[in-house]
């Protein structure tokens, strides 16, 4: 299937839609319990099951529309299905809460391996969007690697020390806002190491 471009807003909607719907559903059902097939499930676990279905559906739509999926999208899908599935199957919310930790450790670890080899794996996936000089790529990769590890630590601290409601809010808004803030904070780096033709 050919690589097809789609409306950026549609892409963002498909990627963020399941997270927003999970947050809204959790807020509505958080104090309710559901008796399903002889077991009692909290609203959080029920919404986790819904979230898995939404992620599978929206990822499938993205693949159908664009003809491809990024490694990040595939990794997210696998971890949501596996960790979310364990939460639902074992009726234990801890597994889905650990999903962001594992995701960011994988991303940070992958970038770290590249750095140890003197390469920027980030460049391989973002070169078209951010044309930078080699030194710029290495600096940005080191910063993003450290940032991913920091997010993993933050997620662990939040879900272990705070309430489920606090973690859901952090997962929905905090992690997304942190990612946007990180790239905004790199504006001077991106400008300094932009390729000459892109500066012009």
What is the rounded average pLDDT of the residues 51-69?
92
Could you tell me how many residues make up the chain? 200
Asked if residue 128 and residue 172 are part of one domain, the reply reads yes
Q: Does residue 67 sit within a domain?
A: yes
Enter the pTM of the model. Answer: 0.85
Final residue belonging to a domain, choices 37, 62, 91 = 91
Domain that holds residue 110: 93-194
Share of the chain above pLDDT 90, in %: 72
Strand partners, 42: 33
One domain, residues 30 and 68? yes
**Residue 1 pLDDT:** 43
At 146, list the tokens. 């450290």
Task: Please indicate whether residue 11 or residue 107 has the higher confidence score (pLDDT).
Answer: 107
Q: How many domains does the chain have?
A: 2
> Which of 200, 196, 189 is CA-nearest to residue 136?
189
Read off the pLDDT of each residue in 183-194 and give the average, rounded to a whole number.
92
Question: Looking at residue 127, what is its pLDDT?
Answer: 76
Distance CA 117, CA 173 (A): 34
Residue 38's pLDDT band (cuts 50, 70, 90): confident
Q: For residue range 117-160, what is the model confidence (pLDDT) as tens digits? A: 999 999 888 877 778 899 999 999 999 999 999 999 999 999 99
């Amino acid at each position: 299937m050919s690589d097809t471009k789609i409306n950026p807003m549609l892409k963002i909607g498909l990627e963020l839609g399941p997270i927003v719907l999970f947050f809204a559903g959790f807020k509505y059902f958080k104090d309710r319990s559901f008796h399903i097939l002889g077991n009692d499930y909290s609203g959080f676990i029920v919404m986790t099951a819904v979230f898995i279905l939404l992620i599978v559906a929206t990822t499938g739509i993205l693949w159908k529309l664009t003809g491809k999926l990024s490694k990040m999208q595939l990794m997210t899908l696998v971890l949501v299905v596996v960790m979310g599935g364990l939460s639902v199957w074992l009726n234990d919310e801890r597994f889905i809460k650990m999903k962001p930790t594992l995701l960011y450790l994988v991303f940070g670890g992958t970038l770290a391996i590249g750095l140890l080899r003197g390469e920027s794996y980030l460049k391989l996936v973002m070169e078209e969007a951010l044309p930078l000089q080699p030194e710029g790529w290495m600096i940005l990769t080191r910063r993003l690697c450290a940032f991913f590890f920091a997010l993993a630590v933050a997620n662990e601290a939040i879900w272990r020390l705070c309430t489920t409601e606090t973690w859901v809010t952090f997962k929905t808004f905090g992690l997304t806002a942190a990612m946007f803030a990180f790239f905004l904070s790199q504006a001077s780096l991106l400008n300094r190491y932009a390729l000459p033709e892109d500066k012009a």
